[in-house]
Structure 1
């Protein structure tokens, strides 16, 4: 790892000083390393997939825009030749790497209710500072996997440990599809947002506030739908809803000037689509015999977590909506 760290230092022009590198995290999209050069801290990412350079440039532009407006985000560091992402030599493992400024904080972990109010303030800050989007939200956030894809994945999952849970989830996925079909793409004007603000992508800072990291999925969104998505990902597990935390997050969001206004189940289309598409993608990876073993194992873990609690039924989502109404920020 020392050779890789030294290569990153030179390639990205990170300056001189003592050099240390440690594991910073591991997610569905890649590995993150914490690189310290002297007193300067950086996040070094090695994505599993080929990097979309145009999407990465859009992400860098967004983070630069937010940073200029006082939002603490992991802005990008360009290589000495101006590139945002650089191919890693085969002698150092190959693949690609990118560097950003390190955002200091600790994991929220299993304490989402304890930071319900800071979460509302963070989301309002991001929505207020966000630029207007020039395009509509991506299909990942507006369209469900078609029924034939689920049939194929179920058939291929015969004998797998998640088979029964996947079959049990089909009714919920069908209900999602009906709601999403009625929802459309959302209300304009769209903003450019994080789009994946779940607890693993947020850090608790020393000042008690929250900081958003991992902006790879940033894109066009309806702020109401991102609010709804965030409430589900933070305060719902299966059919259990922390209604007090939902109300606290929405109340803080309103008081901080957040523009989202929940009105019905269709406002939850974004979370329904994203969780469903994520599950379908992880199933495809886990069932792909040609995929790297590490990726398949990681996908199996993601499938287990998703089927255990990330697909709440419409009844649970109705309770989220009712709890939001008690905060005064949902249409009656």
Structure 2
């Protein structure tokens, strides 16, 4: 662990003096002072008291703030503005980096699946996680499922009841078939039927060969402290659902911690699949999935490794590995 990360870990345990820090970290007192000053310049306002150095009571949304108390093996690279956190993570991959979470306050050239536009202004949680998992390339979709679970858990941690629509959309507002919520007003906005309002999306990119992944980047975009009026139709934000601004640092940290825990199980898959099923709103619904070979319509009954949606159709069960999924009402089928 580098001096900076070790310093943040020590500060998480409470006030600690400069000499004690130097002894604990195995560095000089000058090195401790330099590391503290670097944190302050970053916006992480370490206070000097008679009891020693003290971390800020309300850590800011910055690299040090996200890393403070973080139980995940990622270094955080924070930028106020980037064209794309995924693009930056890919640059780092080409330089040989690993286990880095690239975070931006704003993205100016972000994109979703199939190069669709993704609105990413200041106030969201825009993060791309670069790892080098030791798994075959065929298992890469499991990391998308893991990221969806992690994102839902981060939303639920701040009391926003999110759920997953296959394969990689995170929604709020259940809009379940027959529950009477489709089209019913919700706080001045209509609940989008067929599954709810989109609050987050995921884009996974990788490079590798059949038997191994060279690098993998999972990009997650969460509409955190954004005005829904500035978002596309059928989208919402954590701010709107929570009734006020949310702690982005907490959202990002929970997402990273949960993703790290699940990604570590990708060689087995069962834990990721089970967690995904528990948080999915697609299973049990009538769906239409647009695939390269045409639409598949039926009832979604399961998800199988590494992420295929199992659909019970009039012609029997179909397994769909990629496509755009729409939740249907019975009348739409």
TM-score, structure 1 length as denominator? 0.24
Higher helix share: 1
Higher strand share: 2
TM-score, structure 2 length as denominator? 0.24
Asked which structure has the greater RCO (Cα within 8 Å, sep 6+), the reply is 1
